[in-house]
Amino acid sequence: MNAPLIWIFVPFVAGVAALFLRNQRWLSLLGSGLALLLALVAFLIPLDQALSIEGVSFKISSSTQVLGRSFTFLPAEGRLLVVLYGLIAMWLFGAQVAQTADRLVPLGFLISSLLIASIAVEPFLYAAAFIEMVALLAIPMLLPPNQTPGPGLMRFLIYQTLAMPFILFSGWLLAGVEASPGDLGLAVQAAIILGLGFAFLLAIFPLSTWMPMLIEETSPYLIGFLFWVLPTMAVIFGMGFLDRYAWLRTSEQLSLGLQWGGLLMVVSGGLWSAFERHLGRQMAYGVMAEIGFSLLALSLPSDKMVEAAFWLVIPRSLAILVWSLSLTQMGRRVESLKFSAVQGMAYSYPLLAAGVVLAHFSVAGFPLLAAFPIRLALWEGLANRSLGLAFWFLVGVLGLLTGATRTLAVLVRPPQENRWELHEHWDESILIGLGILGLFILGIFPQISRLFLADLPIMFEHLGR
């Protein structure tokens, strides 16, 4: 038995098999159960160590060969698999409430297996092709067969497809720079092409226009899953570049570029969120800011960068999950997610309203909520470098807080009959209630994340050392 077979091939086959099932509840339960099982196996069984259970001895080898190239999981990556499959289980479990299990479970498994393959493939550069395949699989997930594709979806397809050639090509140039480090012109060209590739992949401003457009064209829950999983894996892929190439890791210019790119995303996401009147688009701007926070984490000194980048993963996933699930459920009860249509909804759907508002506040880094500790750490890291950077960070965060406060004000604006009633279904109440509880628990006890994330820096050879 080998690790790629378990964590890549099994979910891939499960995804294909799930395409033939139609029952939302069973799909969701089976999908989340399998994802949880995969997380549990990754948690309990160490790689490359012989184990004996009831006299039967076995070993999960860490690598396998496909078409002359290897797919390898390092022992430290076991914890990453636990986190990823654990979070995927949460998303798949919520899919039955959002009534998207028939699309999220099969395609979610296919997407997850390809993204996990992108971590395991050697040379790591080939991950770009896997990420492109993910973008292609995302299209049928986001677009129901009876709906005209909108401009947001077409832009998503174009931008994600353009990312792959740039990244693959830059990999070749980077190898050239490594061979002749004195060639400054080649280094600049390689860095520009790599930057363009990641700008397309991570939807760096101004290539982020598809995000708010797409959220109006599809289910917020489905796009929420993509908003979580794609940037997270793209950032891990980006860290692979920094780990592999010493000159990139030590480049002051790259650190500056990441800083300004990150701040641009945080400030643009924050400011647009402050002025936006559509709840879905506000989530997209929140995600833009989240990508900015990831870039800022990558701009920190090498020893802190990995820890900071991984610390963002769990709070981000939980916040986007609660946010997108609440929006999906809210969208079913109103004509649109515009402010004018959702006024006073907190009176009839208080839990949905709380989910939207608290997730938004969490992304903004409001105290006691999940993302607060890591936002504080990032802010401190920036302030140590320059007060100007810390100021722009504050501008972005204030924008997000303004957006969240405006949302709160609209949702609690009293309707004609201002009686508080609970109209949510029991299953959505439980899920969103648990999500909100999770946001508070992670905010008050951030050390819980360390249980899963502490070993992750070891998966890189040079970063975090």
Partner 1 sequence: MNLLSWVVTGILLLTAMGLLLVRDWRISLGILGVQYIGVFWLSSLHWPLSMAAVKLVSGWMCVVILGMTSLGLKGGMLSADEFWTQGRLFRVFAASVVVLIVLVSAPRLENIIPGMGLPVVYGGLLLTGLGILHLGIVSQPLRVVLGLLTVLAGFEIMYAALESSILVAAMLSVVDLGLALVGAYLMMASRRESIS
The residues of the shown chain that bind partner 1, judged by CB under 8 A, are 66-69, 126, 129-130, 132-133, 136-137, 139-140, 143-149, 151, 153-154, 157-158, 161-162, 164-165, 168-169, 172-173, 176, 186, 189
Q: Note whether 382 and 367 are within 8 A (CB).
A: no
- Considering the complex, state which of residue 40 and residue 173 has its C-beta at the smaller distance from partner 1: 173
- Output 160 or 255, the one with its CB closest to partner 1: 160
Tokens representing 162?
A: 């353009």
> Secondary structure of 115-131 in the HEC alphabet?
HHHHHHEECHHHHHHHH
Spatial neighbors of 88 by CB under 8 A, at least 6 apart, are: 35, 108, 112, 229
Using CA atoms, how far apart are residues 287 and 170, in angstroms rounded to an integer? Answer: 27
Read off the DSSP letter of residue 61: B
Residue 146 Cβ, how far from partner 1 at the closest point, in Å? 5
Min dist CB 5 to partner 1, Å, is 17
Sign of CA dihedral 30, 32, 34, 40: negative
Q: How far is the CB of 166 from partner 1 (least distance, A)?
A: 9
Give me 453's structure tokens.
């994330």
Residue (180 or 447) nearer to partner 1, CB: 180
Q: Which is nearer to partner 1, 82 or 142 (CB)?
A: 142
CA 299-464-269 angle, 5° bins: 30
Report in angstroms how near the CB of residue 10 gets to partner 1 at its nearest: 20
> Min. distance of Cβ 332 from partner 1 in angstroms?
20
Q: Which is nearer to partner 1, 172 or 445 (CB)?
A: 172
- Shortest Å distance, C-beta 310 to partner 1: 27
Q: Which of these, 265, 300, 325, lies nearest to 377 by C-alpha position?
A: 300
Q: Which CB sits closer to partner 1, 168 or 341?
A: 168
Angle (CA) 240-243-249 rounded to 5° is 120
Distance CA 295, CA 309 (A): 8
